[in-house]
Amino acid sequence: MRPGFSFTITARDGPARAALLATPHGAVATPAFMPVATYGAVRGIEAESLRGIGASILLANTFHLHERPGEDTVAALGGLHGWSGWRGPWLTDSGGYQVTSLGDRCQVGEEGVAFSSPRDGTRRLLTPERAVAIQEALGPDVAMALDECRPLAWLGTDPSDAEARRRTEASLARTLRWAARCQAARTRPDQLLFGIVQGGVFPALRRAGAEGTAALGFDGYAHGGLGLGEEAARRAELVEVAQEALPPAAPRYLMGLGRPEDLLGAIALGVDLFDCVLPTRNGRHGVLFTSAGVVRIRNARFARDGAPVDPACDCPTCRQHSRAYLRHLLQENEILGARLASLHNLRFYFRLLEGARAAIAEGRFAPWRREVEAGLQGPG
């Protein structure tokens, strides 16, 4: 790894592992969950409160920050660490997912992704080189290579469909060419770059993708293009075959997938990093995670419930507030409700991962996982 960075595996339990990812801006105990700070801020929660509930690394969206305020502005103010209030480690995505999500407003070619800016309508081109340059300006500790992240609906979801396989093969080949261009474009010695494994719904292509990406020698690896419509059982197989082909000494990251059970399943396969908007978005919608199942706090039966959301939770929301009060705030669209619900849900995720790390260290990940999963099925 680059100077100032290291990835040290501290415990193993089958394929699952606990590790420490050290960066110049602090260390991340893995498996770790990265809250999503789309525009450089987790909705309603400043850095101090994030640290207080156990956050160690944040994810920002390159495409959104490129649009506003622009990477030059962020760079002029000291990069993500100086510009935002979060001085700890940052990871940015490549912008590929968001730009491809523009649908008709983007065209994917060998050079890159051409798109019309939602901000000002100008035509722009996101190339592998440009994705690296933008991320080098933003200055996260971990940058992501630009991949061709076609939707599964376009690639095809049926592994017996020859046409889908042809499309997915071609897309994977391009992702690997782009990955090599990203590697060649790097100029910052103080930033990690992770490659992204594609391969659609085809286990053989996922394996080939992992081997091809690993051959390029990235600092870490991610599983991309998942959680977009494939069945959970198939997804586990797709992650597993790729995991087996990736260098075990490098950190491995499952992008964008984030139900608690998704995390537990991937940790069992040796995945180290996760991100998802689920805890914050669900929180804003009043869907709260607890060790005894999901609580839909807007339900009328909580109108006079004086208990905390989760009596077993140590988050600021559960220590200070009742279900009734949180429900009231969300019903009235008080932004404090979004903040308190997000704080709770994020703390739930951090505690889940603290539990996973401890269970791995003690060699009891599988029974711990079964117990936690049984709780997650509860009535809340």
Contact residue for its own copies among 14, 24, 78, 367 (CB under 8 A): 78
Does residue number 142 form part of the binding site for its own copies (CB under 8 A)?
Answer: no
Q: How many residues bind its own copies (CB under 8 A)?
A: 40
- Residue in 141, 147, 262, 275 annotated catalytic: 275
Catalogue the E-assigned strands of the chain: 6-13, 16-23, 26-30, 32-34, 58-60, 90-92, 106-108, 113-116, 123-126, 142-144, 192-197, 220-223, 252-254, 273-275, 287-290, 293-296
Residue 275 appears among annotated catalytic residues: yes
Cβ-based nearer residue to its own copies, 11 or 336: 336
Does residue number 84 form part of the binding site for its own copies (CB under 8 A)?
Answer: yes
Does residue number 117 form part of the binding site for its own copies (CB under 8 A)?
Answer: no
Stretch that binds its own copies, among 28-36, 69-77, 140-148, 231-239 (CB under 8 A): 69-77
Cβ-based nearer residue to its own copies, 179 or 343: 343
Quick one: DSSP state of residue 78? T
How is 154-199 classified by DSSP, letter by letter?
A: HH-S-TT-HHHHHHHHHHHHHHHHHHHHHHHH---TTSEEEEEE--
The least CB distance from residue 301 to its own copies, in Å, is: 13
Q: Tell me the HSE value of 154 on the side-chain side, using a 13 A CA sphere.
A: 13
The least CB distance from residue 46 to its own copies, in Å, is: 6
Q: What tokens does 78 get? A: 């000291």
Cβ-based nearer residue to its own copies, 45 or 246: 45
Does residue number 301 form part of the binding site for its own copies (CB under 8 A)?
Answer: no
Does residue number 47 form part of the binding site for its own copies (CB under 8 A)?
Answer: yes
- Residue in 13, 93, 262, 272 annotated catalytic: 93
Other CB atoms within a 10 A radius of the CB of residue 152 amount to: 17
The least CB distance from residue 50 to its own copies, in Å, is: 11
Q: Name 330's Cβ contacts closer than 8 Å, sequence gap at least 6.
A: 284, 286, 297, 298, 337, 338, 341
Cβ-based nearer residue to its own copies, 281 or 328: 328
Does residue number 215 form part of the binding site for its own copies (CB under 8 A)?
Answer: no
**What length is written for the chain?**
380
Q: What tokens does 185 get? A: 């474009």
What's the gap between Cα 55 and its chain centre? 13
> Which secondary-structure segment (H or E) carries 244?
helix 232-245
Binding mask 247-286 toward its own copies (x if CB under 8 A, else -) reads ----------------------------------------
Binding mask 314-333 toward its own copies (x if CB under 8 A, else -) reads --x---xxx-xx--xx-xx-
Cβ-based nearer residue to its own copies, 87 or 234: 87
Q: What tokens does 246 get? A: 């990736």
How is 305-316 classified by DSSP, letter by letter?
A: --S-S-TT--SH
Stretch that binds its own copies, among 79-87, 96-104, 120-128, 176-184 (CB under 8 A): 79-87
Contact residue for its own copies among 21, 32, 36, 45 (CB under 8 A): 45
Classified as helix, coil or strand, 150 is: coil
β-partners of residue 144 are 194
Does residue number 299 form part of the binding site for its own copies (CB under 8 A)?
Answer: no
The least CB distance from residue 92 to its own copies, in Å, is: 16
> Annotated catalytic sites, by residue?
93, 275
Q: Which residues bind its own copies (CB under 8 A)?
A: 39-48, 68-69, 73, 76-78, 82-85, 303-304, 306, 316, 320-322, 324-325, 328-329, 331-332, 334-340
